[in-house]
Structure formats: structure tokens, C-alpha cells
Amino acid sequence: MSNPIVLETRKLTRTFGERVPVHALKGVDLQVAAGEILAIIGPSGSGKSTLLNLIGALDTPTSGEVIIDGTPLAQVRNIDRFRGKTIGFVFQSHNLLPTLTAAENVEVPMYEQPMRGRARRARAVELLTLVGLGNRADHLPSQMSGGERQRVAIARALANEPAIVLADEPTGNLDTVNTAEIMALFSRLNQERGLTLVLVTHNTEVAAAAQRVITIRDGMIERDVTMQSEIERELLLFKSSVLGQAILRGESLPTELAAAAPALQALLEQV
């Protein structure tokens, strides 16, 4: 039996401006199943962040609809409360409150829930332990590394057991080692807790760690690829490399590669 659909968009559009309208999204149809890790990639200005903002109820569409966990957002009366209970957020900048400890930051989303202080604290420590920071619960953000702060942000995103977590460039401010650790954490949470994750990224290595990758260009979904194997992930990385892009553009290549270029180009165009 297939997993239920947690996120759906139907003919989603977003237009900015009136005199000279900018069509940021043009009728996007998308479905995300429970337990799926989806990466959204595309060039700057393609509509990635606009789509994430609409999914996260941080913006409203010009037309079309967003349905989260079976509920159309347009029918929600208290969108802030619904967002807090149903959607977790992880941003490029962790957005932790600097005067609060790690545990206190994780507790913040729980204040809208009917929980006693002791229960909030226990839940916060449990989540920090889950992300490997159980011993840092009483540390301030300034006393933690960038990777640790992002782990706190992930724990905070999980505070209310959301149906879906949205991540906007979650590794954008991290080095290669911390990026790998954060993606490994997401993968573990997905495997152990069924985390449903939609992330926007410019980093193809981050995208390749997802189970499914969609490419957005000019406000429309250009490609939707489900990663069935490690080979497909490697092909995605190769496609974004200097050599892969040269092959796709049909540029002249060294003699030893020229004969294989047409076949490689055809292969990369399918990824």
C-alpha cells in the first residue's frame, strides 16, 4: 500500500506586481507522499523559494491551492496555529533566539500546545538527544558551532510532530563536513521516524541525497526524477559538474571523450 499524500498543490500560481507582472509560479501541480525526501532545485529566480513559501503558508497564491495533510490552506481560519502544529521549518540561517538556551529554543513552538513546562522541557531534551545534542541543552547559540545550531533548528522543527518539514537551503551556511552530517541526520530521521522533508537547495550533493528531485525553471516544474539507485544520484552530480555541463552544451571535448559525447549527452538529458 502506498503512503498517503501529505502535500499537494493544484495549478498553483503566484504573480507579483501589477503594471509589470512577474509570474513566479505558473500552474504547479505537485504531490509529496508521507515519508518522502524531496529536493527542489533550479536557477535563481526560478520560483523555488516562492513555492516553498506557499507550501509553508508564509504567502498566499494568486490562484490554485495548497493542501497539507488533507486540509486546503484556503479553508484554515487560524493559519498561524495550523502552521505551528502541522509544518516544521528549517532555514539557512538557523533563526535561533540568541538569549535562549538550546532547550528553550526547541520549546518555543510548544507554547501554543496544551503542555506543562516540565513536559515541554522533557520533550525538548528528547529531541536534542535525537539530533545528538543532549549534552548541549543548556548552551546558548553563541556557545555552539554552526552545525550544532542547525541541529537545534532541526530539533525545534520537530517539536510539534509536524506532518511535513520544509527546509530552505538548510546547509547553505555550513562547510562540507557539516553539510554531510546534517544530510545524514535528515536521512536517519526519515528512516527511523518517517520524516517527510521538502528542501530547496542549490547544492547538488544535497539534492542527490534526496529520494526525489524536481527541477523548477521559469515558474514551472521542468523535471521530476525519483532516485531509484546510487547510479542515478551519481549521474545527477555529474550533470552539474563542469564536464557534464560542457557535454550538455555540445562543446568540443578532448579526443578521448569526443566519441562518447553523444551517448553521454543523451543520458544526461534524461536525468
Between the two ends of the chain, the Cα-to-Cα distance in Å is 27
* Whether 144 contacts 136, CB under 8 Å: yes
**pLDDT above 90 coverage of the chain, percent:** 56
220-226/5-16 β-pairing: unpaired
- Which residues on neighbouring strands pair with residue 253, listed in sequence order? none
Band of residue 101 on the pLDDT scale cut at 50, 70, 90: very high
Band of residue 179 on the pLDDT scale cut at 50, 70, 90: confident
Dihedral of the CA atoms 191, 28, 201, 72 (nearest 10)?
-50
Residue 221: the pLDDT is: 93
pTM (two decimals):
0.83
Choose the weakest-confidence range: 113-127, 179-193, 252-266.
Answer: 252-266
Half-sphere exposure of 166 (CA within 13 A, CB side): 21
Residue ranges of the alpha helices (H) in the chain? 48-55, 79-86, 102-107, 117-130, 146-157, 176-193, 204-208, 230-240, 242-249, 255-258, 261-269
Residue 204: the pLDDT is: 77
pLDDT digits (tens, 9 = 90+) for 161-171: 999 999 998 88
Cα 35 to Cα 194: distance, rounded to the nearest angstrom: 5
Range with top average pLDDT, 129-138, 175-184, 209-218: 129-138
Band of residue 79 on the pLDDT scale cut at 50, 70, 90: very high
Q: What is the mean pLDDT of residues 3-24?
A: 92
What fold characterizes domain 5-240?
A: Rossmann fold (3.40.50)
pLDDT exceeds cutoff 80 at 237: no
Q: Outline which parts of the chain fall under CATH 3.40.50.300.
A: 5-240
